[in-house]
Structure 1
């Protein structure tokens, strides 16, 4: 009798496209495409008797297709720029972000890359200042090496150009860098056809997840969290959208069939998150099997499965069950996590021997389900996990007592007899939903989503004949799990502010696609750390500047508050900033704002500058640089924008200066103003001051000057 082993590698990336900026804000789809997705197949292909399953999330597949169509990310754009032509902000962006890789396995093995990291410092200060220390050749080497190490070693060994480039190691040319980036796009184009070919050969099974990777039980009803987390603090509003949960499943199945020409038989629910309602929707979509974590089984049958890491009765876990005509596999958490988090520090053959020994010691029959992330683990392994995977597949191919199977193959050959009376709601992390709900930031994100979706439903009822498919797509994107993965304290990323901004921009776009004004709360970051931005210098007294767009004199703005825009916001944004400083000040009659451009004024033609006040009332001041020297003031009343006035106290020459009389914007003494400025071109947001959050200005009393003097 042999043991069946069903391995599923889960491939997923969130949807990184910022609809307001019309570009991908993070490069991880492209970089994992060059490092993980194709080589996983190429390694497996050498072992034709080994069968494996791959789960491909549609939000990943969609982005791969968009890269094929020519869309790129900011990192790619900045990699293409000749090093001699990089401006100061672009240099700073590269210095700060082009070491985002595992230093031990991806940076230190390359002497030049390690040298450049040491020059920057693992702990470093202002990237703008640091960038001045780097020569053009060093910057070009950094552009090249970052994109080279994110190509899998297998490709670097097999491709002659890549092999020679790695051997060269330094002093790369612009032509070599350009050819390297072309290799990225070549690799991306091979991925989907390669998976289709392997699936049709029968060696792999392809499965799918709900389209934008939502936590389906919470989309169905986010108060469901109370069942597995009795003490959880729930969001203010009960988000309930069963139709969205169904849409995410059905959209995934349709898209998968369009790409591969056949329907998926299996579905890995995002983060293994299940509930009875979700299993019923999966069944309704025609999916034959699904999977989740062993702890969900333990809680569903109310029985402990382990003492420590040892299974009490392996036969309970090592079989599929049935609920509502859907077969359910429960992964062996210990075996899965050993590959994901432990074996990277082991010698490959020792790790493989330990893995197989654990299987043999646990059982001599049934099906062992090993399910884990198929991309993120490998950068912690030597040689991107190639040696481990080769030895694992080689050992499995030779094994007489362990037979690899796909999940569909197993249920075809082994009728499922055990039925579950209930499904405990939870995910593969702790058998609950604590990562995605309960923290203050998580709950606020849910409440933002609730309000926006409620407004869209109302708008649809009022406009039944209007095509709102694009607005609904933004809702579906916003329902993805990855936004709340980074909210709260459970996980850390240097790019949390980027996730926060993309999430809110998706929700803002819902309104823009319906022709309505986004509500003020969407301009307030969910992440606590980036909501209210503190000035570098606080106002020290009243100011009386001449509004002429020029720095008329040293003392004109001396008493004003000042923000250094180069020090505000996350690394993904600094590269895009058009302005260096933002000043604000006031006297008894007016509020004054000033923006200092970084570059020549000719770079700022044909733009719209929009000043947004979100408290104490909604006000917009719109100034079009090419139209005239008037700024239009709009005040929102009952969700309708009413033009209040036009003012000529605005000028844009060497700097932007504007005076906003308090009586015109209807703001009183001692009130707080929450404000930010947006720069738009061709309807797309190209800059913001501050980059994230808002600036809070306290309107002073008449005796402010006297108080500050004392």
Structure 2
């Protein structure tokens, strides 16, 4: 079995500062702990550290990180206070806020005093502290208090900054002694197949709508590879041999480019392999490059599903799954974002590695038996296509901004920053964040700075915002009949429609509604809901009692804080057999 944790943050540089705090926050919670926990077990684990993450980790200080600079400012302007609250309010409440009684009180309090605001900021930082930090007496002293002076906040921030400075050297030590291996990605995490040829999106999915203007950016694609190699060497002393291509995006041009640059191992998702081969439990070789394809089901269990499980149940379930699979299993997933939603993330990781000690884990360069791959159809680890980054109005407009800018001014390093996958991820349909407007501003400012640097007039198309607040409605993708049994399962709801209101600073704390329709029923699921549904009215206006059991018109179950419900056609009086034909994409 091969295991790779992918660690990535986009370039948040804006006006000479790191404008969003996620590099720092994940550093004190995830980046050190993930390597530290893995190092305690006899398990071979790989970590992918992107250049954009490495450079920002290396540069963070109280002046460079905009969020920290505001926390250190004694009197904030209204817009600065709003920015800080926007960041704090985006945290996941159940696991990051509620465990701290005073934090939860302040989080929900209106009209905060200056002292309240100071305490809120400190508790926010403490909530992000990971396993290692919480073991330290310095942090424990803070956790035992309910109120803090400005000087204590200041001391905490500088303590955490010192902690962050040791993370990259720690990874280097672990790699040098053979405990882990470190891979990397192209410079700003671009979708390389789209840079080589935007038509690759069509090859992956013929129905996708391409931008109105595009042309090959082959030189930029090679620059991303070359810069990544140099950054890796700066931190770890030698050139990398393995690249995780951003979002698992590969094509034949990408593989050939890797080979030409001395990269002999790369990765993608099993949805890409399944277009040409059926055996995902074998590494492959294409034009001199070894390819590993992640088991999407197993990887997503950790990333999305096990947060609902008790720790022992999750680990035992994963063990059964890998025991029943033949050949070489490849598990690759995000190594930083899932843990905010686990109730006991570190307990899970310790038991997970303890279980893996009895398995035959390997580094990727130790796997020898490979099959020949004669063809690659372009794709990514998300559904085997590139629809997450191109195809709708906002995503395509962002690409058009880039291409129109490059037609005016050909060469500028800023283009490399806006070619990163993250900007297109947040634009348009599919994903939302309370910081979407900020992402749009940073993206456009990178391009505007090109024109400023070359003393040319900024085009009007860069001044107009490319982000619109909206209610997200994601149509259902295919006929779906989830089981309503109180055991919310990620995979039962894959392809379901979604309804999610963007509530500004409160987004992320308002429940997302999933729906599914088949020929007979409408199914609803509400995640993280604190509401207790005790009565419903039927079509005659009569109250129907329905608490956790089936009734004449309605059945629903409660599982923890998630809610699932089935509405048969009688109660909603809808011709579902007609609706379900038209509500899918």
**Same fold at TM > 0.5:** yes
SS at the partner of 2:377? Answer: coil
Question: Displacement of 1:286 after TM fit?
Answer: 0.4
Query: Residue in 2 aligned with 1:380?
Result: 341
Asked if 2 retains the 8 angstrom alpha-carbon contact of 1:293 and 1:431, the reply is yes
Matches within 5 A, 1:515-534: 515-529=455-469
- Cα 1:570/1:240, change in 2 over 3 Å: farther
State the match for 1:409 in structure 2.
366
* Deviation readout 1:583-625 (Å, 9 max, x if unpaired): xxxxxxxxxxxxxxxxxxxxxxxxxxxxxxxxxxxxxxxxxxx
Whether contact under 8 Å (1:219, 1:241) holds in the other structure is: yes
Q: Distance in 1 between matches of 2:167 and 2:325?
A: 36
Name 2:71's counterpart in structure 1. Answer: 79
The CA deviation at 1:97 is 3.1
What is the SS of the residue equivalent to 2:391?
A: coil
Evaluate the alpha carbon distance shift between residue 95 and residue 528 of structure 1 in structure 2; reply closer, same or farther with a 3 A threshold.
closer
Q: How does 1:431-446 map to 2 (within 5 A)?
A: 431-446=384-399
Taking the TM superposition and a 5 Å limit, the aligned residue runs for 1:192-591 are 192-301=168-277, 305=278, 316-363=279-326, 366-383=327-344, 385-397=345-357, 399=358, 402-410=359-367, 414-416=368-370, 418-457=371-410, 472-529=412-469
Q: Report the 3-state secondary structure (helix = DSSP H, G, I; strand = E; otherwise coil) of the residue aligned with 1:119.
A: coil
Q: Equivalent residue of 2:276, what SS?
A: helix
Against the structure 1 CA distance between its residues 507 and 165, is the aligned structure 2 distance closer, same or farther, given a 3 Å change threshold? same
1:300/1:422 contact within 8 Å kept: yes
**Contact 2:284-2:372 at 8 Å conserved across structures:** yes
* Structure 2: distance between partners of 1:86 and 1:160: 31
Kindly provide the CA deviation profile for residues 484-508 of structure 1, in whole angstroms up to 9, marking residues without a partner as x: 1011111111111101110000111
* Separation in 2, partners of 1:447, 1:90: 32
Instruction: Give the Cα–Cα distance (whole angstroms) in 2 for the partners of residues 37 and 202 of structure 1.
Output: 18
The verdict on how the C-alpha distance between 1:92 and 1:257 changes in structure 2, with shifts beyond 3 A counting, is closer
Distance (Å, rounded) in 2 between the aligned partners of 1:373 and 1:441 = 25
Contact 1:223 1:239 in 2 (8 A): no
Distance 1:254 1:89 in 2: 39
The alignment partner of 1:403 has SS state of: coil
Q: Is residue 86–residue 434 contact of structure 2 (8 Å, CA) maintained in 1?
A: no
> Could you report, residue by residue, the CA deviation over 1:162-191 in whole angstroms, capped at 9, with x for unpaired residues?
0110111x1111221111101221121011
1:55 paired residue number: 48
TM-score computed with the length of structure 2 as normaliser: 0.79
Equivalent position SS for 1:53 = strand
Give the distance between the partners of 2:246 and 2:458, measured in 1 at CA: 29
Give the conservation status (yes or no) of the 8 Å contact 2:2–2:361.
yes
Cα distance in 1 for residues equivalent to 2:306 and 2:208 = 34
- For structure 2, the 5+ residue unaligned runs are 471-502, 507-585
Distance 2:434 2:82 in 1: 16
Q: Residues of 2 paired with 1:456 and 1:419: CA distance?
A: 43
Q: CA offsets per residue over residues 121-179 of structure 1, 9 Å max, x none?
A: xxxxxxxxxxxx2122211110111111111133112x1110110111x1111221111
Given that 1:239 and 1:446 are in contact with CA atoms closer than 8 Å, whether structure 2 keeps it comes out as no
Query: Larger strand proportion, structure 1 or 2?
Result: 1
Change (3 A) 1:60 1:381: same
Alignment of 1:118-137 (within 5 A): 118-120=108-110, 133-137=111-115
Deviations 1:228-267 (A, max 9, x none): 2111111111231111111111110111011110121211
CA contact (8 A) 2:315 2:352 kept: yes
1: CA distance between counterparts of 2:24 and 2:294?
29
- The C-alpha deviation readout for 1:313-363, integer Å capped at 9, x for no partner, is xxx211110101000001111000000001111111211111011011122
Aligned equivalents of 1:38 and 1:350: distance in 2?
Answer: 26
The answer to whether the 8 A contact 1:93-1:571 is kept is no
Q: Does 1:102 align with 2:92?
A: yes
Distance, in Å, in 2 between the alignment partners of 1:92 and 1:59 is: 27
Q: Which of 133-142 and 51-60 deviates more? A: 133-142
* Matches of 1:42 and 1:8, distance apart in 2: 15
Q: Gaps (5+ residues) in structure 1?
A: 121-132, 306-315, 458-470, 531-568, 573-710
Give the match for residue 572 of structure 2. none
Report Cα offsets for 1:529-548 as digits up to 9, x if no partner. Answer: 49xxxxxxxxxxxxxxxxxx
SS at match of 2:102: helix
Pairing 1:14–2:19 present: no
**Does the 8 A contact of 2:250 with 2:379 survive in 1?**
yes
- Post-superposition offset of 1:73: 2.5
Q: CA deviation at 1:88?
A: 3.9
| Deviation digits for residues 28-71 of structure 1 (CA, Å, limit 9, x no counterpart) | 01111111000111111221x21100001001111111215x64
Cα distance in structure 1, aligned partners of 2:204 and 2:77: 52
Query: Following the alignment from structure 2 to structure 1, what is the Cα–Cα distance between the partners of residues 469 and 86?
Result: 20
Residue in structure 2 matched with residue 160 of structure 1 by the alignment: 137
Structure-2 change in CA distance of 1:514 and 1:96 (3 Å): closer
**RMSD over equivalenced CA pairs, Å:** 1.8
Inter-partner Cα distance in structure 2 for 1:425 and 1:338: 25
| Residue 93 (structure 1) shift | 3.6
CA–CA separation in structure 1 for the residues paired with 2:50 and 2:504: 28
Q: Provide the residue aligned with 1:26 in structure 2.
A: 20
CA distance in 2, matches of 1:208, 1:96: 31
The aligned residue for residue 129 of structure 2 is 151
SS in structure 1 opposite 2:331?
strand
Output the CA distance in 2 between the equivalents of 1:14 and 1:90: 22
**What's the secondary structure of 1:286's corresponding residue?**
coil
TM (norm. structure 1) is 0.65
